[in-house]
Amino acid sequence: MARRPPYASRAPGTLGLAAVLFSQGFGTRRECAARVQAGTVRIDGRICTDPDEPVATDDLVFSVDGREWAFHARALVLLHKPAGYECSMRPRHHPGVLSLLPLPLRQRGVQPVGRLDADTTGLLLLTDDGALLHRLTSPRHEVPKVYEVGTRHPVTPQQLEALRAGVVLDDDPRPARATAAEATGDCALRLTITEGRYHQVKRMLAAVGNRVETLHRSTVGTLALPPDLGPGQWRWVQAGDLERAPSR
């Protein structure tokens, strides 16, 4: 009897072991099967060598070459972006943020949810879920993003009022409005916006007669940058955290 291919249909929530590796970005189908046959994969400490072995994916944790990995049907990770990295999939002048992630995440096709400028730091989400990417970036859903801004000149009450009322940006007749703007120091403010236009925060501050010197994103939706996550570090986002992110 012919052996069943490892990628044939199985019970819901179950995959062949090589298919599990393939879905998580550990290489091509052939490479994943070879990894299993070479004895590099363990589940609960047990070496697994059958690429066809059925595996329940719920709460699955496995290891490849000694590195532990949790199964995620869709990848969503939170990265503390450092300065000097581009969010482009094809960076030109600086290293790309994808270089900060492990190879399996890069190979399964995660991409940034929106963009931060190379000199901007802070919370950046990356995912391989197209529907989620659209929901978090579409202006229609108005997902709030909070920025900590350092300015060249002192922040005045008039500037804060203008940012909340809406300012017209260069080459864009649509007013850009902050849903919240508050001074956090003489030359610092916290700004909340729900759009993601090109250089939006920098252009908004320029429109009120100031200039951005430092820019850090601290929050997207209800997801805040964890205080213990250092620049360049990342972690998985739990589904429950994401479900609380605002959506309209």
The token pair at 113 is: 């949810």
Q: Taking a C-beta distance cutoff of 8 angstroms, is the pair 35, 29 a contact?
A: no
| Rounded Cα distance, 143 and 245, in Å | 7
DSSP-assigned letter for residue 218: E
Give the list of residues 6+ apart from residue 227 with CB closer than 8 angstroms, or none: none
Q: How far is CA 33 from the centre of its chain?
A: 29
If 0-12 CB within 10 Å is exposed, 13-18 middle and 19+ buried, where does residue 61 land? exposed
| Rounded Cα distance, 32 and 38, in Å | 10
Task: Let me know if 172 is a catalytic residue.
Answer: no
Give me the catalytic one of 52, 117, 129, 241.
117
DSSP-assigned letter for residue 30: H
Q: In 98-110, which positions are buried (b, 16+ CB within 10 angstroms) versus exposed (e)?
A: bebbeebbbebeb
**Coil/strand/helix, residue 237:** coil
**Coil/strand/helix, residue 217:** strand
Bridge partners (DSSP) of residue 192 are 146, 180
Residues with catalytic annotation?
Answer: 117
